[in-house]
Amino acid sequence: MNEMIDVGKNARTIEELMEKISPIPNLELEVFRAICKKIPMVTVDLVMIHPLEKGKVLLTLRGPDDKFWPDKWHFPGGFVGYQEKMEEACERIAKEEVGVKLVKIQQIGINEHLIEEYARGHSVSGVYLAVPDRVPEKGQFFGKENIPKNLIKMHRRIFDLL
């Protein structure tokens, strides 16, 4: 016999639980992983162009202890926090990941990551072309002709937008 589900009660329970958890970026890892398995997450990827060398974009290398992509190159990026605008997330991530301010930001596309290819679940990422206020000290600039072989698979599609 099928049990009747009280949708209203379940919705209130979920709302009560959500009130108890910290928003991104301070979300506990176990809670974060559980949410990512059920709800698409909104992220941004930054294509920072070299301020002096045309055709070069910034990639950063994840460390050997990274839980998702150890020793892999990627475009700087991350999750959009609750009540945070996507361009605000771009500015925050540029400062946190590579220590620069952005003088120009322009969305150039969407990159969707499905569970099969994305270690964290399903996410939809706004891809932004960004001009930093100076050459970042972190990361390395690459052109389309020398994309690292160990670039995160889902980030290879971003080069198609350029």
pLDDT digit string, tens, across residues 71-118: 999 999 988 987 899 999 999 999 999 999 999 999 999 988 776 555
134 or 7, which is more confident? Answer: 134
pLDDT for 134 equals: 94
Tell me the average pLDDT across 16-30. Answer: 65
Distance CA 111, CA 109 (A): 7
Residue ranges of the chain assigned to CATH 3.90.79.10 = 40-161
Per residue in 41-83, pLDDT tens?
889 999 999 988 888 999 999 999 987 788 999 999 988 987 8
Distance CA 125, CA 62 (A): 19
Burial class (CB in 10 A: 0-12, 13-18, 19+), 104: exposed
pLDDT of 2 strictly over 60: no
From the list 136, 142, 128, the residue with the least C-alpha distance to 53 is 142
| CB-CB contact of 73 with 109 (8 Å) | no
The owner of tokens 């399903």 is 122
Class of domain 40-161: alpha beta
| CB-CB contact of 144 with 101 (8 Å) | no
pLDDT of 1 strictly over 50: no
pLDDT for 162 equals: 82
pLDDT above 90 covers a percentage of the chain that reads 44
Distance CA 46, CA 125 (A): 10
